[in-house]
Every structure is written in C-alpha cells, then in structure tokens.
Amino acid sequence: MFSRIEEFGWRGGDAGGVGRITSAHGDYYHLVANGVEGEALARKKKSAFRAPDAVKPITGDFVRFRHNAQGESFILEVLPRFSRFERRDPTAKRKAQTLAVNFDTLFIVTSLGEDGDYSPERLMRYTSLAEDMGEAEAVIVLNKLDLVEEGAARTALCESIAQSWAERGVNVLAVSVATGEGMDEVRKYFVPRKTVALVGSSGVGKSSLVNALAGEEWMATGEVQEWSGRGRHTTTSRELVRLPGGALALDTPGIREIGMVGEVDFEMPKGCVSHRFR
C-alpha cells in the first residue's frame, strides 16, 4: 500500500507535513498530501520566502507545509528537487526560469505536422538544456505522424532522426496521438508513481497526448475542432495530474511563451538535417 503522497511520487521517507503542488494560481497553490482529502489550497508563508535566494514553489514541487488553527495551509519550504528543467539566460542577467521539476522522464514534444514545429535546432536547444537536469531521462516525441504521408520516405526520415539522437543517448518516439500509432512506446514511460514532464511549443499535442492516455479530457487542448496540424494553444498554466494507470503527467508552458528562441548555443549532431514537410 502506498500513501497518497507516495502515489504522487514522493519517495523521500517520512511524509509528515509533505505535500506536492499540482497547480499554481498566483499566490495560491493546490497541493496533495497524506491526510488531505482532494487537494488543499495553500499560500506561501511570507516570512519563509523573504530571502532573495529563497526557492519559490512551482507545480511539481514537494513542499513542507502546515495548517494553522483556522485550517489555512501555509507552505514553509520547497524540498530538494531531484530533477529540474530550466531555461537559462545566457547573459546571466536574469535568474534561470524553472519550467518543470521532480520528473523522471522529460518528453520533448515536437510536431511533424504542417505547423512546421519540427526543427533539429529547436530539439538541440531543448536537449542541451536537459543535459544537467538531474535524475531523469530525456525522450524526444515526434507527434502528428499522421500528417506525413506513409511510405518509405517517412520511415527513412524517422529512422534518420532516431539514429542521430541515439548517438547522443536520446530515445526518439514517432507517434500520432490522433491515430494511436506508436502510442504503445509512449505508454512504457507512464508507470505508477513516476512523473513524465512534457515540454515543447504550444500546439504540438502535449495536452492531447495526456488526454489520450487518460482516456478523457483532463487538460484543455487547442480549440481546433478536428485533427489538424495547426493547433491553437491554450496551455498556459502548469498542471500535475495523476492518470488512471497511476502515472503522473506534468504539463509546462510552451516554448513560445518562455521566449527561448535563438538563445542557446549548440552544435548540431551529425546527420541531423533540417527538413520541411509538404
């Protein structure tokens, strides 16, 4: 038997006063914890976060918290993160922006669709940021496979992409959330009590992927009614959800929102060529 906080990925021993943040709304946070039915609404204890270097909680964080006599919950401290995905400012003028924490797998999602999101350069930016993320594995997910005409050219393309990343130790999954093709490989990463964080541009299908695994609408997807390459994005808040199978999915803001374009220097892996579809 696992306690509720363990079901949400806690494996740090004594769980007294430990909660995990499932969503953040300005000054308020939703968190799950042992002894809390559903989710508690908590605020930061101001005095505990006054120091300029105090780590502020974000979705996915394990925190120490307590209730006061009025039943209000206060976050006292962010517990050490075993993994983190951060956007660094190369000029070091601003602090690093932390996009996801405490995940076992980082899904770097891109789209092979006509929205033109697929770019080796973009993937390089993500994978280079993932290099020092901690105890987690990065996996590239090429979604919207259904928008590329089936045949030898498609197979060769996916193989060449997979091979160029294999040299760097990164697994590549080619999938279509729309048709279900390749989704068995995706499911292997969604195991009980493990967290998969999804990063990637808006509209590549991150929420659709999580919804497909959940078997229902858990996250808002782009407003486009039918399956199409041009998704409109709605993913603006970060959310941690526990899927029916017991895995945890952590959604993050899209790369356009975080304005990362062109800010990270990198070397292209050999054999990894830019490719436009259609």
Query: Looking at the DSSP assignment, which residues form a beta bridge with residue 173?
Result: 141
- Pick from 205, 214, 238, 252: which binds ligand GDP (CB under 6 A)? 205
Instruction: Considering the complex, state which of residue 21 and residue 148 has its C-beta at the smaller distance from ligand GDP.
Output: 148
The stretch among 47-55, 58-66, 69-77, 224-232 that binds ligand GDP (CB under 6 A) is: 224-232
Smallest distance from the beta carbon of 183 to ligand GDP, in angstroms? 10
Count of Cβ atoms closer than 10 Å to residue 41 Cβ: 12
Residue 161 DSSP label: H
147 is an interface residue for ligand GDP by CB under 6 A: yes
Distance in Å, CB of 30 to ligand GDP, minimum: 20
Residue 50 three-state SS: coil
Q: Please state, in angstroms and rounded to a whole number, the distance separating the CA atoms of residues 116 and 229.
A: 9
Selected from 177, 248, 255, 272, the binder of ligand GDP by CB under 6 A is: 177
- Tell me the closest approach of the beta carbon of residue 103 to ligand GDP, in angstroms: 16
CB 147 within 8 A of CB 112: yes
Please list, in sequence order, all residues whose beta carbon lies within 8 angstroms of the beta carbon of residue 224, skipping any fewer than 6 positions away.
230, 231, 232
- Answer yes or no: are the C-beta atoms of 212 and 26 closer than 8 Å: no
- Site size with ligand GDP, rule: CB under 6 A: 25
**What letter would DSSP give residue 134?**
B
Q: How far apart are CA 104 and CA 84, in angstroms?
A: 10
Q: Which of 30, 44, 144, 238 binds ligand GDP (CB under 6 A)?
A: 144
Inter-residue contact 241 to 214 (CB < 8 Å): yes
Calpha distance 214→82 (Å, rounded): 25
Alpha-carbon separation of residue 143 from 49, 117, 249, 275 (angstroms): 40, 10, 17, 15
DSSP 51: S
Instruction: Mark residues 102-141: x for contact with ligand GDP by CB under 6 A, - for none.
Output: -----------x----------------------------
Q: Which is nearer to ligand GDP, 9 or 222 (CB)?
A: 222
Q: Does 221 bind ligand GDP (CB under 6 A)?
A: yes
Contacting ligand GDP (CB under 6 A), which of 31, 140, 173, 204? 204
Closer residue to ligand GDP (CB): 73 or 176: 176
Is residue 5 within the footprint of ligand GDP (CB under 6 A)?
no
Q: Which residues make up the interface to ligand GDP (CB under 6 A)?
A: 113, 143-144, 146-147, 176-178, 202-208, 221-222, 224, 227-229, 231, 233, 235, 254
